[in-house]
Structure 1
Amino acid sequence: MTSIATEYKYIELDERNMPIIAGTRMKVVELVTSVKAYGWSPEELGFQYPHLTMSQIHSALAYYWDHKEEIDAEIERRFQEAEKLRLEAGESPFAARMR
């Protein structure tokens, strides 16, 4: 995997220009989604993702705040894609039996 350094010490851009945490495969958007979905603090993120250092977490969050509009758009795009797939799949046999 080829990556490009950024002005953020712990953030690189992968081959698709997606910001990732350097030395990991964790995308900044995935970390931010955890904050938005669960309300996790940086300390809780460190507990939930023990492979990340607090420096990496804070760098990812700083990157997010400086690129909020584009990362929020990516989160929305992912949500819409998941919703589309959910609707296409229809009700699962298990859910149908539970009614």
Structure 2
Amino acid sequence: MSSTTTDYKHIVLNDRQVPVIEGSTMKVIEIAMAQRAHGWTPEEIHINHRHLTMGQIHSALSYYWDHQSELEAAMDAELREIETLRQAAGESPFVARLKAQNLLP
């Protein structure tokens, strides 16, 4: 797997041009989402992702805030694709069984 360096220490673009933390598969957007979804500080992100250094976390957050609009556009596109796939897959057999047993509405 190849990567391209960025102006941000610890952040590289993977072969799909997605920003990741160098030496890992952790995407920058995953760090930003953890902060937004849980309200975590960088220290709390570190507690939950011990394999990352504080420098890596701060660099990922800096990259996110400097590229917020393009990263959120990519997230929106990914969510639309997921929803399309979910709709195409239909109801799972497990959910159908639960509904048949009146365990789900």
Q: Which whole-Å deviations, capped at 9, do the CAs of 1:30-79 have from their partners, x for residues lacking one?
A: 22222333333222211221111111011000000000001001111111
Q: Percent identity?
A: 51
Quote the Cα distance in structure 2 between the aligned partners of 1:77 and 1:94: 28
Q: Which runs of 5+ in 2 are unaligned?
A: 100-105
Quote the Cα distance in structure 2 between the aligned partners of 1:44 and 1:82: 28
Quote the Cα distance in structure 2 between the aligned partners of 1:26 and 1:98: 36
Matches within 5 A, 1:37-76: 37-76=37-76
**1:83 matched to which residue of 2?**
83
User: TM-score, normalization: structure 1?
Assistant: 0.89
**2:103 matched to which residue of 1?**
none
User: TM-score, normalization: structure 2?
Assistant: 0.84
The Cα RMSD (Å) is: 1.4
**2:98 matched to which residue of 1?**
98
Q: Which runs of 5+ in 1 are unaligned?
A: none
- Partners of 1:29 and 1:74 within 8 A in 2: no
| Change in CA separation of 1:83 and 1:39 when aligned onto 2, cut-off 3 Å | farther
Quote the Cα distance in structure 1 between the aligned partners of 2:20 and 2:39: 21
Greater C-alpha radius of gyration: 2
Quote the Cα distance in structure 2 between the aligned partners of 1:46 and 1:68: 21
